[in-house]
Amino acid sequence: MAGARGLALKRPSAIPGFGLALGFTLTYLSLIVLIPLAALVLKSATLGFEGFWEVVTGPRTLAALELSFFTSLFAATVNAVFGVIIAWVLVRYRFPGRRLLDAFVDLPFALPTAVAGIALTAIYAPNGWIGSLFEPFGIKIAYTRLGIAIALIFIGLPFVVRTVQPVLEEFDRELEEASATLGANRRQTVFRVMLPTLMPAILTGFALALARAVGEYGSVIFIAGNMPFYSEIAPLLIIIRLEEFGYAQAAAIGAAMLIISFGILFFVHLVQAYSRRRFGQ
Amino acid sequence: MTDVAFTPKFVLSMRGPSVTTEKPAVRIALILVSVAFLVLFLLLPLAAVFYEALRKGVGTYFTALVEPDALAAIKLTLLVAAIAVPANVVFGLAASWAIAKFEFPGKSILNTLIDLPFSVSPVISGLIYVLLFGAQGYLGSFLKSEGIQIIFAVPGIVLATIFVTFPFVARELVPLMQEQGTQDEEAALSLGASGWKTFFKVTLPNIRWALLYGVVLCNARAMGEFGAVSVVSGHIRGKTNTMPLHVEILYNEYNFAAAFAVASLLALLALVTLVIKVGLEWRYADQIAASRRH
């Protein structure tokens, strides 16, 4: 954007409708997204920095934020490992049912979270299909943190698969051949040539799954048991504070969560900038 | 190669050049791991929905769907989607027209802002409207004096739904229209077509499949949204309950058969969405610029 065009808002064009389209876009964006989000910032600012800090580091809030973050981290890690395996299998191997499996990966995006929540609870409850298998060993899944992790694995599953898949599809097989010709065995080629190239995509998918999981509500609350200090996630605490008319507290927890997710997305941005420089993609 | 005729096709196709693939045993193991993981985490929950829904018999199932509160929830869900989806279609068209057809400063910021709602927790998406329009929100007392109710009423549900589905259409259209450039429109305009005529006769046909793709995804989320809507709805049975909220209420009342019956409708919606999505991806791959991230 060179500054030589002076005050002109746009580069000259024969296409009409710029004013109308941009005007509508900006108005709609402001009314639906920007002003309401500004209300969140404004409301948490009424607490002052010390008040904000007090809410966010209060024991119950801190426990909820930590729970949300660390179970999300665990779930995103599981998704990263299995996401790479699934993407690999879908791209590299041909077997019956492959396309069906491929289509099915998007189910968590399409299935309403509340439906996923009650279905997972039914399966992992002590009398459920899977829960009953673990019950004799004294392992409870539903209504524990393990249950929360399972719900988060469910909703984060597509992210890694869908970010790694296109990169793997474009992967230059000559690199693998070169590696093999130079004497590397298949394991070395995969782990020292291919995975490093896939790493930016894996990290991007991982971070997107993490960001989604930190804010997730619907699929988690049914399976979590929601015990304060143990299995109460941050989004639920926001709702509890709202029901007590603690608007400012709710806004402060919300702002803290937004800071966490924007931090994660900034990380994605850095990874992508790095990979563009390194791999020229 | 005498046994070729008796070897299943998929085993044959696994005999690739060995330096760029894994040993057959590794391949089979990885396929099994993937299938097991997807069955465990995806297929089983889906099967559970229909199993639990039909467990008490078909009679109970249909009774749960036609009782008045369920019907009211279905109607409200359809109404909310019928407002939110077209609103975001108009926005998506305007935003992609501005971003793809023109050069202006601040374009990449605008592009980033459009995706913003995807990185906001659903609960926060509801919270922000409560902070604005709730009884003790910034506009609360004004709205009360005017007799307008937004929170714990249908307008709040519509607003929260529009917020969470905000980027769906725009994010499908912007990359595609950027790729298509402006030549087609310039040709139409130079031949004397008006701006609107150019839009409806040239641009719209060029983007119709991507638009449909965005609409289908937007609609699925609009009908299935739970967290954001839950915050602003107030859970008034028969009045401000959408289908996902109705599922929650039934479930919390231990009326599992009915909860799963309503949930099965939403699961069917998800399956139909997936079928249309995959169909569009296979048939019109070149006309859908989808980044396939969401």
pLDDT computed for residue B6 by the predictor: 53
- DSSP-derived secondary structure for A107-170: HHHHS-HHHHHHHHHHHHSTTSTTHHHHGGGT---TTSHHHHHHHHHHHHHHHHHHHHHHHHHT
pLDDT computed for residue B292 by the predictor: 45
Contact A123 B45 (CB under 8 A): yes
Distance CA(B247)–CA(B263), nearest Å, equals 6
Q: Which of A68, A65, A156 is nearest to A116 (CA)?
A: A156
- Give the residues of chain B that fall short of pLDDT 70: 1-18, 289-294
Contact B163 A33 (CB under 8 A): yes
pLDDT computed for residue B4 by the predictor: 46
Candidates B28, B131, B165, B200: best to mutate against A (most CBs of A within 10 A) is B131
Mean predicted lDDT score pLDDT of chain A: 91
Contact A14 B159 (CB under 8 A): no
Contact B19 A109 (CB under 8 A): no
pLDDT-above-70 percentage for chain A: 96
pLDDT computed for residue B22 by the predictor: 86
pLDDT computed for residue A269 by the predictor: 84
User: CA angle, B172 as apex, B166 and B173 as ends, to 5°?
Assistant: 100
CA distances from A35 to A146, A281, B23, B159 (A): 38, 36, 57, 13
A222: which chain B residues are within 8 Å (Cβ-Cβ)? 248, 251
Q: Which of A152, A118, A120 is nearest to A235 (CA)?
A: A152
In angstroms, how far is CA A112 from the centroid of its own chain?
Answer: 16
B21: which chain A residues are within 8 Å (Cβ-Cβ)? 92, 186
- Give the residues of chain A that fall short of pLDDT 70: 1-8, 280-281
Tell me, letter by letter, the H, E, C secondary structure of B176-208. Answer: HHHHHCCHHHHHHHHCCCCHHHHHHHHHHHHHH
pLDDT computed for residue B291 by the predictor: 46
- A-contacting residues in B 68-97 (Cβ below 8 Å): 90-91, 94-95, 97
pLDDT, tens digit, for every residue of B134-166? Answer: 988 999 999 999 999 999 999 999 999 999 999
For CA atoms B225, B230, B232, B233, the dihedral sign is positive
pTM as predicted:
0.91
pLDDT computed for residue A6 by the predictor: 46
pLDDT computed for residue A60 by the predictor: 95
Provide the 8-state DSSP code for B4: G
Contact B163 A250 (CB under 8 A): no
pLDDT computed for residue A96 by the predictor: 92
pLDDT, tens digit, for every residue of A49-81? Answer: 999 999 999 999 999 999 999 999 999 999 999
CA distances from B207 to A142, A205, B179, B196, B267 (A): 45, 28, 11, 15, 29
Residue B122, both tokens: 């659903």
Residue A183, both tokens: 């004497």
pLDDT computed for residue B11 by the predictor: 53
Beta strand ranges found along B36-85 (DSSP E): none
- DSSP-derived secondary structure for A135-147: GGGT---TTSHHH
Q: Please check whether residue B254 touches A, CB under 8 A.
A: no
- ipTM computed for the complex: 0.90
